[in-house]
Structure 1
């Protein structure tokens, strides 16, 4: 899959729908994911403190954000309708943008999270650019989650644990065919 137009259309439709369920807006309605528990585990893994400035890339409508307590939360998503819904439902600071071209200055955020988005990227080059951007804007730590080793959809981009040399690699939180990685920067 070389472009994201299919997935952008899917997420725009979700954001323009009538539901106020953050889990449904963020695509977890047909999964066994416990979003509150996933957020708890990410907060624990990154040691997110109530004084931290946190960026969530591909934040969607705020499924995870609703459970992240920090000093300052900022979200970015490529779906303008989900950005709008996130702001309406949670009143967070959320911007429209792409994971591979973040508008922030270097080392702006203490912790950076991207969960459940990498399989929607168009290709590995985009994923590498996104990782570079996450590293660039983070001061302390990065978490990338829900990376698929295999998938039931041929539209999902797949990953290999060996591609994350130097990162802490963990099992997925709710799907055995997925994994998570974190990187401490200092």
Structure 2
């Protein structure tokens, strides 16, 4: 299991006002979280004070992540990859640009995101949750999950890590975490869907105890 950071290039490109989000009068934090956890329009394309504020495909944004992952894992035409928590499938689509001939598959619990997914790969996305992946052992050359697993309660977190381990030959997970009280406060202020608030050491404990041997990285709110 190795620490490999593919996601900072995306995460650090966003400017965040933590206090404005938590103190908003129209969408106070609890209200924003209730709306966001429906995983519907408000989460993806509603007001920015709730979550994304309009989640659209941006040319090249995810391509650099796809290329870094493809190079690291040696992905080639004919390989099969699975995106657990794929949302609208933008990274899946950019994988097809970076590695022509690759077979992409995705799974998400948001019917809204699936219905509004990138048209070119929409038929490769299925509705489902991470704790019960409907695939055979080692069916995929790479299984990855970005900013999804931390949204699960502990009982589902255990099952999901074991499922990702089971269906992938190579695995990569990116989750939110914190290293100090400032990052902990910022994470609590900014997040609207996180259920697993863990330090890096605590995440490592989860990985070991669930038998997860894949790679990982953390997102910090500095």
Q: Fold-level match, TM-score > 0.5?
A: yes
For the aligned residue pairs, the C-alpha RMSD in angstroms reads 3.4
- The Cα shift of 1:83 comes to 1.3
Q: Structure 1 residues 48, 15: closer, same or farther in 2, change over 3 A?
A: farther
Residue segments in structure 1 that go unaligned for 5+ positions in a row: 179-186
SS at match of 2:132: coil
Counterpart of 2:117 in structure 1 is 86
How far off its partner does 1:74 sit?
A: 0.7
Q: Could you tell me which runs of 5 or more consecutive residues in structure 2 were left unpaired when the two chains were aligned.
A: 1-32, 47-51, 179-183
Q: CA deviation at 1:148?
A: 2.4
CA shift for structure 1 position 45? 3.1
Name the structure with the higher strand share.
1
| Counterpart in the other structure of 1:12 | 40
Question: 1:132 corresponds to which residue?
Answer: 162
Q: Residues 148 and 158 of structure 1 are in contact (CA less than 8 Å); yes or no, is this contact kept in structure 2? A: yes
Higher helix proportion: 2
TM-score by length of 1: 0.69
1:147–1:48 distance in 2 versus 1, CA, 3 Å? farther
Residue-by-residue CA offset, 1:18-55 (whole Å, 9 max, x unaligned): 9xxx99437x99xxxx4332333232333322221111
Alpha-carbon offset, residue 117 of structure 1: 1.0
**Contact kept? 1:15, 1:82, Cα under 8 Å:** no
Q: Does 1:147 align with 2:176?
A: yes
8 Å CA contact retained: 2:137, 2:167: yes
